[in-house]
Structure 1
Amino acid sequence: MSFMLRTTTALGLALAAGPAFADMDAARAFLDAEIGDMSTLSRAEQEAEMQWFVDAAQPFQGMEIKVVSETITTHEYESKVLAPAFSAITGIQVTHDLIGEGDVVEKLQTQMQSGENIYDAYVNDSDLIGTHWRYQQVRNLTDWMAGEGADVTSPTLDLEDFIGTQFTTAPDGKLYQLPDQQFANLYWFRYDWFNDEKNRADFKEKYGYDLGVPVNWSAYEDIAEFFTGRDLSHLGVTGEVYGNMDYGKKDPSLGWRYTDAWLSMAGVGSKGEPNGLPVDEWGIRVDENSRPVGSCVARGGATNGPAAVYAVEKAIEWLQKYSPPAAAGMTFSEAGPIPGQGAIAQQMFWYTAFTADAVKPDLPVMNEDGTPKWRMAPSPHGVYWEEGTKIGYQDVGSWTLMKSTPVDRAQAAWLYAQFVTSKTVDVKKADVGLTFIRESTINSDHFSERADKLGGLVEFYRSPARVAWSPTGTNVPDYPKLAQLWWQNIGDAMSGAKTAQEALDALCEAQESVMARLERAGVQGDIGPKLNEEKDPQWWLDQPGSPKAKLENEDEEPKTIAYDELIKSWSN
């Protein structure tokens, strides 16, 4: 029975009556009913942390605040369970709205442009870090916690315990957002099919190397070919089987597929962590002062360079050859559940946020003992990729306070943001949504015990490999304006209306048009775009690093690694 249904507890009665004042009894009832020992803190430490919230909330009794996030499992838990608990414990009435990711960005944009206080806090992807730093319309939390937010900043916040703050820190060294949930896109595959002796023998005979986790795209392609249409009746599998899953409908979610770092896996960007410098995974180049100077190769960018063309062409080829026929007409949300239905051998681009839904006991991809038949591993890289380059995307939904929000409302919202990320609740929240934000939670005994039920998620987040996955970085000067260009232009390539080269030429030119307008307007000051003069693209391609010249042979020698050996290497 969920916490929300336990109305016989003291907290349930408090919720029914409607909280009017901060209440430590409600806190104890919440700890009893919902948290128990599922925390990295002892019961005494939990109560001490809750007491701080009770005390800090005193000036805000009866205040009503509104916050917003996208609709994912983690935020549903916050909205339905943690928000009512916070209201009962603190006396601050909080409404936590759940809307689409695009709608969150639209509301935030409207608040930026109008100055109207629509929400008191946003869980806004750290992909907007470059936007927030340049426009200076959000409170930077470093100064906030030392100034107006000092009295409402928890002594147990422990920023060093958060694994994503490097993604929410701008080049000025200031923290602009507080991570609330975090997930990566990784390689997903049928561990049981890959370990089947007949499959392994047949693959070795056909391709001359071992079936395993693909290290590069050449191996991924071989595996996709091998499994597509394969007869797996000896494993009790009936129906058509496919070696790849993706989606291709011309829809805003198609843009996420690419801005969320498909090009990074191909090797488009420069070396560097968390993002390539001077050229990032969007193909945008910045100068030594972090000013965007170009997107097209003619200005030193890489959005329309050979590596990007290779990336898009491969995605289209695999979608057409190795995926279910319906995939080309699917959106992100429609494609997400398909691997769990049991007919997909592998998927290069699979969000770990799907884990909670992919481990449900009645799915054909689950064993009777509650362990999954699938695993996740690092995504394979394309032929242009080099060691030290970003290799995939990590979503970091983060608490963001707008300057247009009145101070007292921002202070109350900051209390809520800290409550839902606190050490008291974080293990339980992570258990529900599987979107880790704290090192202490990842390394907790609870997740050591649960690890074998989660298909490699815990092992990945405990590994040194995770730092190569990162959100959009600070090279992107205006995420909302630029991100919407991707799905429209990539969609033209997916539909066949344009070649990949033509679509990417149009995309980089559109990005530069937006950056030129920002430069003319001067709205981002001396950290806004300052476009390079155009040169012969070959001049840039002849320079070291990104943009990278076209390789004569884009089919490198395929390479795989045994999954169990990979996991072992992480723990060494």
Structure 2
Amino acid sequence: MRKYLTTSVAVAALTVMAGPAFADMEAARAFLDAEIGDLSSLTREEQEAEMQWFIDAAEQFRGMDIRAVSETITTHEYESQVLAPAFSAITGINVTHDLIGEGDVIERLQTQMQTGENIYDMYVNDSDLIGTHWRYQQVRNLTDWMAGPAADVTNPNLDLEDFVGISFTTGPDGKVYQLPIQQFANLYWFRYDWFTDPEIMAAFEEEYGYPLGVPVNWSAYEDIAEFFTGREIDGVEVYGHMDYGRKDPSLGWRFTDAWLSMAGAGDQGIPNGLPVDEWGIRVDENSRPVGSCVARGGATNGPAAVYSVEKYVDWLQAYAPPAAAGMTFSEAGPVPAQGEIAQQIFWYTAFTADMVADGLPVVNEDGTPKWRMAPSPRGAYWEDGMKLGYQDAGSVTLMESTPEDRAKAAWLYAQFIASKTVDVKKSHVGLTFVRESTIQHESFTERAPMLGGLVEFYRSPARVQWTPTGTNVPDYPRLAQLWWQAIGDASSGAASAQEAMDNLCREQEQVLSRLERAGVLGDLGPVLNEERDPQYWLDQPGAPKPELENEDPQPITIGYDELIQSWQNN
């Protein structure tokens, strides 16, 4: 079995290596021997050539101390604890890679934007901020940076086309503003062992008149949730759904991370709907936001959005464990691994590593998972050509306020932790793929049976329908904080779904209006439409969409093995 995770021996070797920073191939070879081996898309000769390039390019910065920051997830822990010391030993550039909460990362980035003070030389923040970065022009445009000032420190083997999420970090001007270094999707999770149990399958088909399988639409998901809830399997009382509902900032992620797109609230378009995106924000032909409420051509409070919130509330109350309504994102995350949940419509693949640990009720004795992941079911308003879910893409961001020499040194570190030399091993540790060459590596073919469909999904044509927040959102930090408060009111019963979304769209437009009046975004800022009778916009093609006569169409399921076979035959 390959060494997918860092061993204590390897860590010890790296610690010794990272002591005196002597920056030469001796350090690089020690790192490659101790940590990488054949877990790379490059041959050993190619690995050494890439390491020699880093040594040569970094010579001018040897002895410099730089600071990087990212949120705390397994992938970034590996970068901070293993790759940063290795980079320091190999190049002589001393990196401190801090790990803090996602909200804290954004707070520090905002502070640097507002004050110009260089807090960090490199930020890893979600590509959800692409609309902010493109409009505010306070981050380095990497396309021009690589071709100009940073040409001498840009790896000729970087290969941007190999990054599967590079479109997520590209602005409407065609320029790349961030470099993805970790990526994970929000998919459907289910108990494969229960879904393929002959007795359970027969009972479901007898009751509902169609086969139990991966739900293609929300109608089927609801039937499956109803079927499993309250059923006893192997002495355990089962719930047909899992979610969380506490009025907390993490509730905002539950919705800005593309819940409305799963329902079908926005327009067609990959990676994001145009002119109306999954947040319900409409832009004009110049990508300037013009409204969020239906009265201005937006869809945040339209019938599809309200339908999505109603389904969320109904399922949480009817099919999830009673405690779920009072849980946050982090509290709800481990629950499916405890063995009482039949399916979850909103599940991040970043949890994969935690769901395959030995001894869990959802893992077989041979280490294979009892569960699988699959594409998310779609809501009644969804149409072909729309995105179907969310993908988080943590991406390197270099601020304009960072001095050029420090930014160049940080850019070398960014390229090192995303390099072909290290990316396969890093992906085995964190399971957050960013490179096509890594996804296709033979080691993941070998490991795929242990990962519940993760590899199959990322090798499939379906993956392009899972995308982060796009460029319609002009100021992600200001707008994102509005969501959890509005949705929290709906979740708690303090407001109906319609009232909550009416409040949310008005609050979003207040922020857009302030940005318009301030003029800080110039020709890229909002210019709100005049309000009209909402029916005018509902009568136009696309989003906002009029209410459907039937929001519960014929349920559709597909066998998981049939689904995987269709991907492999594509």
- Structure 1 length normalisation: TM-score? 0.98
Whether 1:498 aligns to 2:488 is no
The aligned runs of 1:159-170 (5 Å cut-off) are: 159-170=160-171
Amino acid at match of 1:497: A
**Cα separation, 2, equivalents of 1:201 and 1:221:** 18
Aligned counterpart, 1:566: 563
Question: Displacement of 1:6 after TM fit?
Answer: 4.0
**Cα separation, 2, equivalents of 1:324 and 1:73:** 28
Amino acid at match of 1:506: N
Match for 2:416 among 415, 419, 428? 419
Aligned counterpart, 2:520: 523
Whether 1:297 aligns to 2:284 is no
Aligned counterpart, 1:145: 146
**Cα separation, 2, equivalents of 1:229 and 1:488:** 31
**Cα separation, 1, equivalents of 2:12 and 2:221:** 54
**Cα separation, 2, equivalents of 1:7 and 1:102:** 30
Whether 1:18 aligns to 2:20 is yes
Question: Displacement of 1:13 after TM fit?
Answer: 2.9
Amino acid at match of 1:128: L
**Cα separation, 2, equivalents of 1:148 and 1:18:** 30
Aligned counterpart, 1:538: 535
Question: Displacement of 1:485 after TM fit?
Answer: 0.2
Structure 1 residue runs of 5 or longer lacking an equivalent are: none
Tell me the secondary structure at the aligned position of residue 470 of structure 2: coil
Once the two structures are superposed, what CA deviation does each residue of 1:443-495 show, in whole Å capped at 9, x if it has no partner? 01010111111100001000111001100000000000000000011101111
Aligned counterpart, 2:209: 208
The aligned runs of 1:319-334 (5 Å cut-off) are: 319-334=316-331
Aligned counterpart, 1:84: 85
Q: How many residues align?
A: 565
Aligned counterpart, 1:262: 259
Question: Displacement of 1:23 after TM fit?
Answer: 2.0
Once the two structures are superposed, what CA deviation does each residue of 1:171-219 show, in whole Å capped at 9, x if it has no partner? 0000000000000000000000000011100000000000000000000
**Cα separation, 2, equivalents of 1:550 and 1:287:** 24
| Residues 4 and 81, structure 1, Cα contact 8 Å, conserved in 2 | no
Amino acid at match of 2:122: A
Amino acid at match of 1:494: S
Question: Displacement of 1:14 after TM fit?
Answer: 3.0
Question: Displacement of 1:369 after TM fit?
Answer: 1.4
Aligned counterpart, 1:178: 179
| Residues 3 and 81, structure 1, Cα contact 8 Å, conserved in 2 | no
Tell me the secondary structure at the aligned position of residue 188 of structure 1: strand
Aligned counterpart, 1:46: 47
Amino acid at match of 2:94: Q
Once the two structures are superposed, what CA deviation does each residue of 1:295-328 show, in whole Å capped at 9, x if it has no partner? 0000000000000000000000000000011100
Question: Displacement of 1:368 after TM fit?
Answer: 1.2
Tell me the secondary structure at the aligned position of residue 533 of structure 1: coil
Amino acid at match of 1:154: N
Amino acid at match of 2:303: P
Tell me the secondary structure at the aligned position of residue 391 of structure 2: strand
Displaced runs of 4+ in structure 1, greater than 6 A? none
**Cα separation, 1, equivalents of 2:17 and 2:371:** 43
**Cα separation, 1, equivalents of 2:152 and 2:10:** 33
Once the two structures are superposed, what CA deviation does each residue of 1:10-69 show, in whole Å capped at 9, x if it has no partner? x54332x331x4221011000000000111111000000000111111011111000000
Tell me the secondary structure at the aligned position of residue 144 of structure 2: helix
Tell me the secondary structure at the aligned position of residue 392 of structure 1: coil
Query: Percent of pairs identical after alignment?
Result: 77
| Residues 244 and 347, structure 1, Cα contact 8 Å, conserved in 2 | yes
The aligned runs of 1:94-105 (5 Å cut-off) are: 94-105=95-106
Aligned counterpart, 2:389: 392
**Cα separation, 2, equivalents of 1:530 and 1:5:** 59
Aligned counterpart, 1:460: 457
Whether 1:445 aligns to 2:442 is yes
**Cα separation, 2, equivalents of 1:219 and 1:530:** 41
**Cα separation, 1, equivalents of 2:358 and 2:281:** 44
Match for 2:349 among 347, 352, 355? 352
Distance 1:7 1:453, change over 3 A: closer
Q: CA RMSD of the aligned region, Å?
A: 1.0
Match for 1:284 among 281, 288, 301? 281
The aligned runs of 1:480-495 (5 Å cut-off) are: 480-495=477-492
Tell me the secondary structure at the aligned position of residue 391 of structure 1: coil
| Residues 229 and 241, structure 1, Cα contact 8 Å, conserved in 2 | yes
**Cα separation, 2, equivalents of 1:102 and 1:299:** 31
**Cα separation, 2, equivalents of 1:5 and 1:353:** 26
Tell me the secondary structure at the aligned position of residue 531 of structure 2: coil
**Cα separation, 2, equivalents of 1:185 and 1:207:** 28
Aligned counterpart, 1:122: 123
**Cα separation, 2, equivalents of 1:469 and 1:224:** 23
Aligned counterpart, 1:309: 306
Once the two structures are superposed, what CA deviation does each residue of 1:73-92 show, in whole Å capped at 9, x if it has no partner? 00000001001111111111
**Cα separation, 1, equivalents of 2:8 and 2:104:** 27
| Residues 396 and 471, structure 1, Cα contact 8 Å, conserved in 2 | yes
Question: Displacement of 1:148 after TM fit?
Answer: 1.2
**Cα separation, 1, equivalents of 2:285 and 2:359:** 54
| Residues 185 and 349, structure 2, Cα contact 8 Å, conserved in 1 | yes
Tell me the secondary structure at the aligned position of residue 565 of structure 2: helix
Tell me the secondary structure at the aligned position of residue 402 of structure 2: coil
Distance 1:58 1:227, change over 3 A: same
| Residues 251 and 488, structure 1, Cα contact 8 Å, conserved in 2 | yes
Question: Displacement of 1:5 after TM fit?
Answer: 4.7
**Cα separation, 2, equivalents of 1:503 and 1:312:** 9
Once the two structures are superposed, what CA deviation does each residue of 1:244-287 show, in whole Å capped at 9, x if it has no partner? 00000000000000000011000000001000000000000000
Question: Displacement of 1:2 after TM fit?
Answer: 3.7
Amino acid at match of 1:471: P
| Residues 185 and 350, structure 2, Cα contact 8 Å, conserved in 1 | yes
Tell me the secondary structure at the aligned position of residue 76 of structure 1: helix
Tell me the secondary structure at the aligned position of residue 365 of structure 1: coil
Tell me the secondary structure at the aligned position of residue 57 of structure 1: helix
| Residues 139 and 397, structure 2, Cα contact 8 Å, conserved in 1 | yes
Structure 2 residue runs of 5 or longer lacking an equivalent are: none
Tell me the secondary structure at the aligned position of residue 181 of structure 1: strand
- Structure 2 length normalisation: TM-score? 0.98
